[in-house]
Amino acid sequence: MIRRYLRTRDDDLPWLFISERLQPLSDRTVRVIVKNAGEAGGLGHVHPHMLRHACGYYLHNLGHNSRLIQDYLGHSNPSSTMIYTRTAAKQFEGLF
């Protein structure tokens, strides 16, 4: 999907997401985009860090081990990653 998106652009800029001024998106802009998308989707208050959490839960539900998730998310402390193994919904499917 990223490669397909990049093929639609006619610039050689090194940033994945760019502003109308052909500059990288600022942190504030990303927060506003994510917040507005969450509200439009009826999700309530959403912030960019929640995307990291969603990624962690998704990887765990796919069966990836905690060490891989820790490296992928850049956690220096394994206990930061363990939250995804505590409540990942898929591990409870078919329990009863």
pTM of the predicted model, to two decimals? 0.64
pLDDT, residue 27, reads 93
Tell me the pLDDT tens digit for each residue of 2-20: 999 989 999 999 999 999 9
Residue 69: CB atoms within 10 A of its CB come to: 23
Q: Return the pLDDT at 80.
A: 83
**Residue numbers of the domain that contains 65:** 49-92
Q: Are residues 36 and 56 in the same domain?
A: no
CA distance 31 to 10: 26
* pLDDT score, position 92: 63
Provide the domain count of the chain. 2
Q: What pLDDT is recorded for position 82?
A: 82
12, 39, 85, 92 from 96: Cα distances, Å: 54, 35, 20, 9
Do 7 and 30 lie in one domain? The reply is yes
Q: Are 84 and 56 in contact (CB under 8 A)?
A: yes
Which residues does the chain have with pLDDT short of 70?
86-92, 95-96
Residues 22 and 53 grouped into a single domain: no
